[in-house]
């Protein structure tokens, strides 16, 4: 079959006319050139060009194909760098959920819509003809790392941190002792957490940890419904929060005000919550004012706000706090010892050790328990002491204590063609901008390895075989757009930016309709 016959089989309309014109012009060249032309035309037309109705793009075997696992910020920023800097490279993004964007969709708080604007950047990348999205495909279940390594020039693991740290204290597995990770998933419509048994029938809640996730979950517990109902918070969570009796949230950290992990914007939001009082004991901030001047700028402003909120709040705050019906308390130097239960096995409080700090460097001071003990009575406990990554494949060199894949500058130790980026590579800390920098750096490193000849071209037959085997299951980016449309339409009816679908079968049904 000559080139023109092949083209007739694969395209129609104006594209065909253009391609035939190009093919005829070049048809005097050697047969090999014809084949190259055929591939290059197919390649440039990308996905829309496929003859068998398949959903994946085709390309010349000389092209480099990179697989990315995980469609959060690390995945999309790595893809962006690769696609922008290499004219031919093709990226296939595999995602275990039917929907993209990782923690931008399932982590970022519903009352922070501006943060989610990065989705527009990811969508631009996803719309490239050289970028494919295969949702509903899970590494470790639907395909193995070996499948990917056999089929691609390079594989980049960007699958984030799917677990959380535990305290290992008695009572941690009682009902209503929940990880903040699951609670966040619950209010953000993450399918696995949609049915989380959250009981808000108590006046007092404790959040353990002094990071931004702790402030996120505390803020959601205390924010008036009139504000939350205009966000994309999940309907089941909104309904539970409407009936909530929670009036007081204690945010408990093991160290002092100079060591908190949260940031100023999130603290300020807490101090400005409507109808909510901020309580920071003056004894806890005594003496920290003398350090403020010498702290690095972000820490200086943050510490200043903690100090002033305790010692000399502004007029507006004083007025609101005096009349407020709810409150949150910032509790320092306390470590959880055990969770206390009543005779029905329900949480009734938490016993804490009172700590002192040891060590010279303020930032790295350690909490050491004294003999003093204290109990906070509460009916709900949210553990917010950090996320944790998992290995996912036995062959991966993994640092279990840090929950990260062993790597040096994104290159996975002793594994040619295998890279990682984002939280699974450097641990579960850092905001989206930090993850962006990491994704861009990872992209650069892969490009350098392609340039220097370290990486070989992939086996395109194997890649096509793999894609074919996943075809019935995988959700493409245009499938996702159908889900997106259904969610935004449902949201518009109730004055929300979107009503998230949290049932996987329903997502698939809409996507494949
Ligand atoms: C609760 C919370 C709120 C946050 N809020 C903000 C904020 O307001 N502003 C800000 O700048 N930063 C925020 N961050 C930080 C930000 O979310 C992270 O920096 C960023 O999401 C990390 O990106 P990542 O791609 O490494 O991981 P993730 O975003 O977690 O993406 C990982 C992706 O991999 C997928 N995956 C997992 N396992 C598999 C598998 N086996 N196969 C295929 N795919 C898989 C996951 O489903 C997910 O889509 C927040 C973090 C949390 C936890
Ligand atoms: N709005 C936002 O921008 C936003 C929102 C949410 C999350 N994020 C980002 O996402 C990342 C993760 O946030 P995170 O809050 O999960 O983690 P984090 O910032 O690492 O905070 C974890 C907190 O848990 C405490 N902790 C850890 N182990 C503990 C233990 N065994 N006992 C008691 N306390 C313990 C830590 O205290 P020590 O310091 O003493 O270890 C720290 O206060 C951060 O980079 C965060 O900034 C950003």
- Name the band, by pLDDT with cuts 50, 70 and 90, for residue 122: very high
List, for residues 342-387, the tens digit of each pLDDT value: 999 999 999 999 999 999 899 899 999 999 999 999 999 999 999 9
- Ligand 1 center from residue 96 Cα (angstroms): 13
CB 406, CB 142: distance < 8 Å: no
The mean predicted confidence, pLDDT, of the chain is: 90
The C-alpha atoms of residue 73 and residue 433 are separated, in whole angstroms, by 9
Q: What is the largest CA-CA distance in the chain?
A: 90
Percent over 70 (pLDDT), the chain: 88
* Strands annotated E in 127-230: 131-134, 154-157, 163-164, 177-179, 204-208
Cα-based angle 359, 404, 92 (whole degrees, multiple of 5): 145
| Number of alpha carbons in the 13 Å side-chain half-sphere of residue 146 | 2
Q: Which residues line ligand 1 (CB under 6 A)?
A: 69-75, 94-97, 102-103, 107-108, 112, 115, 138-140, 158-160, 162, 184, 213, 216, 387, 392, 422-423, 430-432, 435
Does 254 belong to an annotated binding site?
A: yes
Ligand 2, atom 24, lies closest to the CA of 385
Cα-based angle 459, 460, 465 (whole degrees, multiple of 5): 105
Does 423 belong to an annotated binding site?
A: yes
Q: How far is CA 333 from CA 68, 123, 180, 336, 448, in A?
A: 42, 44, 20, 10, 47
Percent over 90 (pLDDT), the chain: 86
Query: Whole-model pTM?
Result: 0.90
Say which residues have a Cβ less than 8 Å from residue 22's Cβ, sequence separation at least 6.
Answer: 37, 41
Does 485 belong to an annotated binding site?
A: no
CB 173, CB 343: distance < 8 Å: no
pLDDT at 352: 98
Structure-token pair, residue 477: 């980016």
List, for residues 394-406, the tens digit of each pLDDT value: 989 999 999 999 9
pLDDT at 431: 98
């Amino acid at each position: 079959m000559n080139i023109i016959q092949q083209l007739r089989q694969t395209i129609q309309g104006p594209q065909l006319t253009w391609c035939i014109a190009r093919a005829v012009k070049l048809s005097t060249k050697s047969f090999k050139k014809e084949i190259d032309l055929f591939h290059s035309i197919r390649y440039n037309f990308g996905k829309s060009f496929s003859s068998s109705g398949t959903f994946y793009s085709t390309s010349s075997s000389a092209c480099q194909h990179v697989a990315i696992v995980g469609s959060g910020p690390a995945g999309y920023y790595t893809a962006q760098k690769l696609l922008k800097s290499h004219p031919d490279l093709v990226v296939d993004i595999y995602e275990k959920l039917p929907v993209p964007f990782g923690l931008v969709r399932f982590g970022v708080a519903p009352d922070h819509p501006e943060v989610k604007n990065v989705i527009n950047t990811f969508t631009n990348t996803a719309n490239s003809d050289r970028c494919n999205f295969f949702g509903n495909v899970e590494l470790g279940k639907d395909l193995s790392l070996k499948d990917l390594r056999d089929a691609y020039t390079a594989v980049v693991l960007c699958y984030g941190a799917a677990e959380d740290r535990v305290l290992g204290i008695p009572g941690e597995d009682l009902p209503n002792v929940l990880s903040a990770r699951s609670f966040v998933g619950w209010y953000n419509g993450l399918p696995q957490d949609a049915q989380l048994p959250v009981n808000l029938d108590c006046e007092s809640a404790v959040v353990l940890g002094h990071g931004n996730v702790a402030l996120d979950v505390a803020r959601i517990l205390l924010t008036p419904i009139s504000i939350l109902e205009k966000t994309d918070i999940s309907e089941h969570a909104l309904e539970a929060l409407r009936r909530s009796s929670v009036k007081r949230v204690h945010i408990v950290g093991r160290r002092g005000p100079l060591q908190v992990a949260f940031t100023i914007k999130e603290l300020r939001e807490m101090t400005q919550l409507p109808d909510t009082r901020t309580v920071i004991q003056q004894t806890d901030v005594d003496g920290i004012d003398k350090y403020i001047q010498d702290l690095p700028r972000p820490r200086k402003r943050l510490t200043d706000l903690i100090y002033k909120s305790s010692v000399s709040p502004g007029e507006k705050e004083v007025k609101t706090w005096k009349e407020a019906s709810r409150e949150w308390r910032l509790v320092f130097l306390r470590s959880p010892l055990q969770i206390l239960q009543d005779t029905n096995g329900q949480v009734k409080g938490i016993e804490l050790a009172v700590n002192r700090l040891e060590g010279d460097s303020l930032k790295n001071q350690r909490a050491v328990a004294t003999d003093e003990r204290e109990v906070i009575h509460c009916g709900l406990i949210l553990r917010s002491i950090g996320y944790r990554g998992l290995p996912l494949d036995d062959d991966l060199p993994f640092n279990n204590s840090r929950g990260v894949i062993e790597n040096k500058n994104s290159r996975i130790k002793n594994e040619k063609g295998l890279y990682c980026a984002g939280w699974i590579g450097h641990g579960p800390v850092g905001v989206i901008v930090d993850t962006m920098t990491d994704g861009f750096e990872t992209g650069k490193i892969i490009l350098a390895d392609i340039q220097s000849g370290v990486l070989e071209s992939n086996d395109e037959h194997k890649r096509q075989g793999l894609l074919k085997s996943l075809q019935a299951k995988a959700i493409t980016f245009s499938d996702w757009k159908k889900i997106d449309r259904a969610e935004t339409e449902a949201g518009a009816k109730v004055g929300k930016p979107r009503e998230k679908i949290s049932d996987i079968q329903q997502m698939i049904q809409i996507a494949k309709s």
